[in-house]
Structure 1
Amino acid sequence: MRESGKKFGATNSPCAACKLLRRKCAESCVFAPYFPADEPHKFANVHKVFGASNVNKMLQDLPVHQRGDAVSSIVYEANARIRDPVYGCVGAISTLQQQIDALQAQLALAQAEVVHHKMSQAASIILLPHAKPT
């Protein structure tokens, strides 16, 4: 069994990237820490959208402590591009912004209704003592 910084299963299975690319997973594999063998879909989408070579270059150009965040962003964008090839995550952000705008408008309307209700309640309390009994 080899001693290294990356995790291997009992069978020393290759990471998801090396498995998809049908190559031996070396101890220095840049993909292994971020694309474990038990999450093959994660790398498959990244490979479809960006290509293994481009992702490899991106990761190699980054300091090790930034690679995890970069992989998270790359995976998110790849998944968004699979769902929406034209707009990707920008489309998702735009949709969420539209939902925020609609909810803020609903909230403003509800707050206005509450103020109106409180005002009419206060007006009826003020008018009530002045009313003459019949």
Structure 2
Amino acid sequence: MGGNSPCASCKLLRRRCAKDCIFAPFFPSDDPQKFAIVHKVFGASNVSKMLQEVPFHQRSDAVSSLVYEANARMRDPVYGCVGAITFLQNQVSQLQMQLAIAQAEILCIQMQQDQHTANDPDQLGFEEEEEKCFLLHDNGFSVAQVQETLKRESLWT
């Protein structure tokens, strides 16, 4: 920067901001908290070394990653962003399971409607089909597993 106001890094570290300051392009003086949190987690020396090893055109992305990880480490000092990612992956898995259950319910309803539409006088077959469908669904089977089981047992057409 070298001009009027020092970058957030130089301001926090109370030093003169040199013309070729490695922090100046990424830590502007109007956003001091951005550097403060990165400095607190990684230290200015480590951040400087990391930035020097990254090509200039990728430094902005590296700084964004450092800021993200520093914020995550402040919330969760042990796992950082890995904890957040793991939480989100578990949430996706739970939502996928809920989706599979909803799809199984839709399948069961469609099978009931198909059976009613056909006006099949064999209500015993329909009741078996309905019971099998809900048993499979209640035990956490996916839609594909429900369909495969019903096909094997000749209840699915």
How many angstroms apart in 2 are the aligned matches of 1:102 and 1:7?
52
How many angstroms apart in 2 are the aligned matches of 1:52 and 1:127?
76
Match of 1:83 among 75, 91, 95: 75
Amino acid at match of 1:51: G
- Counterparts in 2 of 1:19-58, with a 5 A limit? 19-58=11-50
Amino acid at match of 1:111: Q
Q: Which residue of 2 aligns with 1:96?
A: 88
Amino acid at match of 2:21: C
Instruction: Tell me, yes or no, if the aligned pair for 2:73 and 2:80 is still in contact at 8 Å.
Output: yes
Shift of 1:7: 9.8
Scaled by the length of structure 2, what TM-score is found?
A: 0.73
Alignment gaps of 5+ in structure 1: 1-5
Task: Give 4+ residue runs of structure 1 displaced > 4 Å after superposition.
Answer: none
Amino acid at match of 2:91: Q
Shift of 1:40: 1.0
How many angstroms apart in 1 are the aligned matches of 2:58 and 2:103?
44
Identity of matched residues, %: 65
Instruction: Tell me, yes or no, if the aligned pair for 2:2 and 2:18 is still in contact at 8 Å.
Output: no
| Secondary structure of 1:104 counterpart | helix
Shift of 1:61: 1.6
Deviations 1:12-64 (CA, angstroms, capped at 9, x unpaired): 21111111111111110100111111111111110011000010011112211
Alignment gaps of 5+ in structure 2: 122-157
Q: Please, what is the CA RMSD of the aligned residues?
A: 1.8
Instruction: Tell me, yes or no, if the aligned pair for 2:12 and 2:36 is still in contact at 8 Å.
Output: yes
How many angstroms apart in 1 are the aligned matches of 2:17 and 2:75?
30
| Secondary structure of 1:127 counterpart | coil
Name the one with the larger helix percent.
2
Deviations 1:96-128 (CA, angstroms, capped at 9, x unpaired): 011001100000001111111111011101117
- Counterparts in 2 of 1:117-132, with a 5 A limit? 117-127=109-119
Amino acid at match of 1:50: F
Amino acid at match of 2:67: V
The yes-or-no answer on 1:60 pairing with 2:55 is no
